Amino acid sequence: MKSWKKRLAILACFGAIAVLLSFGYIHLFLSRPIGSGPAGPNVDRSEFGAIWSERKILVLGIGDSITAGLGANSPDHSYFNRLIVNPNDEFQSMKNVCLSSVLPNLQSMNLAVSGSTSIDHYQVVSERLPIQPEDVFGLVMLTTGGNDLIHSYGRMPPKEGAMYGATLIQAKPWIEAYQLRLNEMISKIEDAFPGGCEIYLADIYDPTDGVGDAPSIYLPHWEHGLAIHSQYNESIRYCAKLRKNVHVVPLYQTFLGHGSHCRQFWREHYTSDDPSYWFFTNIEDPNDRGYDAIRRVFLNTILDSSSLVPK
């Protein structure tokens, strides 16, 4: 009788351990809580207490689904729209912290298209961007290149504009073409603003938090993914260095620790004050909190770099 009870106790103990291990695995490897409340860096609201400029300003969006706003809870929660005007349910700390509060003669135009690549963006800039009057100054928000990397998710052989699964050797000429295309795109944007412009060019975030594994069980492993991703970001930074009016918006650094490994406290980029997931269900776009963070990092880059901000 005693031996039977002892065996039962041992089995119960192993069962409890198995349950704890299962919960631990789910918590650390599968659970991706999005959290709640504000996300991303603080923005100095004192900079938004007075008018920056009375000039005519066009805030222009060009790019992919990030600038189009896919994944936001509502259109007014996209980073682009939140840059311009606060939504009705804005966080208290960000009320009146938007471009329309400091640029009274502001208009906006968003040419971004979800799913588009840098090849598409070049066509948009070449064919759809109207030349602006000389009295208009441009603030251009540009997200380009991310879809070049992830399409078509390993379902087809890699090619330019859809490189998922490529080797670094395969991708080398496509990376070089991207850099040339981006540089020409920037020149065409500048040509469309004879009155001058500033271009805020976002680098490309990493949903794997720097680990480099597939961020979803539905995606195949991509051995050279991080290396190709890094070279795309280097191309973005190189093009920005060529011009004083082009400024890199650091989405890559901002999103580290908020991807597929956000709960894993032993990782290099673990963010203890907000270990939450900033990506939408499709893995590649931001969720609502991610868009809040993007809006903030764009605003901070504008505060640091824009000639419109009183110094």
- Walking along the chain (311 residues) 10 residues at a time, the average pLDDT comes out as 54 45 43 89 97 98 98 97 98 97 98 98 97 98 97 94 97 98 98 98 97 84 96 98 98 97 93 96 95 98 97 83
Q: Dig out the tokens for 26 from the structure.
A: 């789910």
pLDDT of residue 17: 43
pLDDT of residue 26: 39
pLDDT of residue 14: 45
Residue ranges of domains in the chain: 32-305
Tokens 């805030």 -> residue: 59
Helices (H), 26-69: 65-68
Q: How would you classify residue 214: left for phi > 0, otherwise alpha for psi between -120 and 50, otherwise beta?
A: beta
Q: Flag whether the pTM goes above 0.85.
A: yes
Task: Tell me the CA distances in angstroms from 125 to 12, 69, 111, 114, 271, one per residue in order.
Answer: 66, 19, 9, 16, 38
pLDDT of residue 63: 98
Q: How would you classify residue 157: left for phi > 0, otherwise alpha for psi between -120 and 50, otherwise beta?
A: beta
pLDDT of residue 299: 98
Which amino acid type is present at position 41? P
pLDDT of residue 8: 52
pLDDT of residue 6: 56
- Our CA dihedral for 108, 72, 65, 172, rounded to 10 degrees, sits at 120
Query: What CATH number does the domain located at 32-305 have?
Result: 3.40.50.1110
pLDDT of residue 16: 43
Q: For residue 77, with 0-12 CB atoms within 10 Å meaning exposed, 13-18 middle and 19 or more buried, which class applies?
A: buried
- Collapsed DSSP state (helix, strand, coil) of residue 202: strand
Q: Which helix (H) or strand (E) holds 92?
A: none
